[in-house]
Amino acid sequence: MPAAETCIRNARLSDAAAISQITSSYAGQGIMLKRTVENIIEDIRNFFVADYNGRVIGCCAIAFYTVRLAEIRSLAVLEEFRGTGIGRLLIEKAEGVLSEEGVKEVFVLTLNSGFFGQMRYTEIEKEYFPQKIWRDCTNCPKLMACDEIAMVKKF
């Protein structure tokens, strides 16, 4: 079972290319926002990776907005490892770190409400959040036709 042998750790600069590869394949399918290697490097301290015997097979990132509000984003697991519990491990790691920081609400923008429902996130109107959380949207090709669902979990 990959999950039993997988460690979730802070990302290192040397993981940036692997993170980019994993997220790019889903960005190409329109499932998630594209992030360049440069952008991932800038944000590397906010990334976690799933390390399976030295191979990066999944990732996610956190973003802080206020002292009580944060986002989990860029969550992806390599196609061949999907459905093996890695996504759950990544979410649990990110939530643990956010909770330690005192964050009270975590949100996600996603097309995968099934998975996040399973992680006990609930749907919420996007208008609930302050405008400043939409900082990524300006570069999104779907800006005027956003189909992502906002979901939130309160700690």
Determine the 3-state secondary structure of 104 from DSSP: coil
Tell how strand 47-52 and strand 105-110 pair up: unpaired
Q: How far is the CB of 107 from ligand COA (least distance, A)?
A: 11
Q: How far is the CB of 69 from ligand COA (least distance, A)?
A: 17
Q: How far is the CB of 76 from ligand COA (least distance, A)?
A: 4
Which amino acid is located at 143 in the chain?
A: L
Nearer to ligand COA, 67 or 120 (CB): 120
Backbone phi and psi for residue 101, each to the nearest 5 degrees, phi listed first: -75, -10
Nearer to ligand COA, 31 or 44 (CB): 31
- Which residues bind to ligand COA, rule: CB under 6 A? 26, 31-32, 75-77, 82-88, 108, 110, 112, 114-115, 118
Q: How far is the CB of 16 from ligand COA (least distance, A)?
A: 18
Nearer to ligand COA, 16 or 94 (CB): 94
- CA dist., res. 132 & res. 95, Å (int): 21
- CA dist., res. 38 & res. 73, Å (int): 17
- CA dist., res. 108 & res. 69, Å (int): 11
